[in-house]
Amino acid sequence: MDLTAIPQYAAEAAKAGGPGDASLGMFLYKLAHVPLITVAKVRGRARGGGNELALACDMIFAARENAIFGQFESGTGAFPGAGGIQHLTRRLGRARAIEAITGADDFDADLAERYGWINRALPDAQLDGFVERLAKRIAGFPPAGVRAEKRAINDLTLPQPANVRSDSAIFLSLVALPESRERLDYLANRGLQTSGDLERHLGKAVAGFPG
């Protein structure tokens, strides 16, 4: 997602039925409900919408050496609008979710594992083999039972569509505010969304806005 083009995204979403339903949040809501087991493997930076994509999967496994997770939106005056609030509050608990979301800092794989953000942090060399073995193990079980188990767990742990639509609407309203646009422009002019030092240390960069 190009954060500098969100007004255009919102306009296009409105043509397709409104931002509440034609949104990244509702797409990821549907991903979380597919009748298959989904696994995210992370060996780089998963922040903002990228982290929300990982959270929509059933499990997350990460490379200990180089995976980073974060919801940086608070540092720009915005709001995680595609499931970050919903999933992290359920996974981390209230106090840790407030720390992670309002603090807008980066979490390495080991800390994310301790907080319950991800399933496990593994050495990069072991990540592929571990996930493949687990996937094959689950795939070898009778599928009707696996589907029923996922459906029951979803019923207990996933947000309702109204929650997702509300988060999307709040995100769009906040990201349009002058202060948010100013902060996003400031970061964009210094390397946001491009490979470089600012993206590598975004959790630090969002706290460095002058003023």
pLDDT at residue 210 greater than cutoff 90: no
Q: Which stretch of 53-57, 97-101, 115-119, 203-207 has the lowest confidence by average pLDDT?
A: 203-207
52 is catalytic: yes
- The active-site residue out of 12, 52, 99, 199 is 52
Q: Which of 46, 62, 150 is nearest to 114 (CA)?
A: 62
Contact present, 168 and 82 (Cβ < 8 Å): yes
- The active-site residue out of 65, 73, 149, 199 is 73
Full strand arrangement of the beta sheet holding 45-47: 45-47, 68-70, 107-108
Written as six digits, the tokens of 45 are 């930076």
pLDDT at residue 24 greater than cutoff 60: yes
73 is catalytic: yes
pLDDT-derived band at 137, boundaries 50, 70, 90: very high
Q: Which of 25, 28, 22 is nearest to 9 (CA)?
A: 22
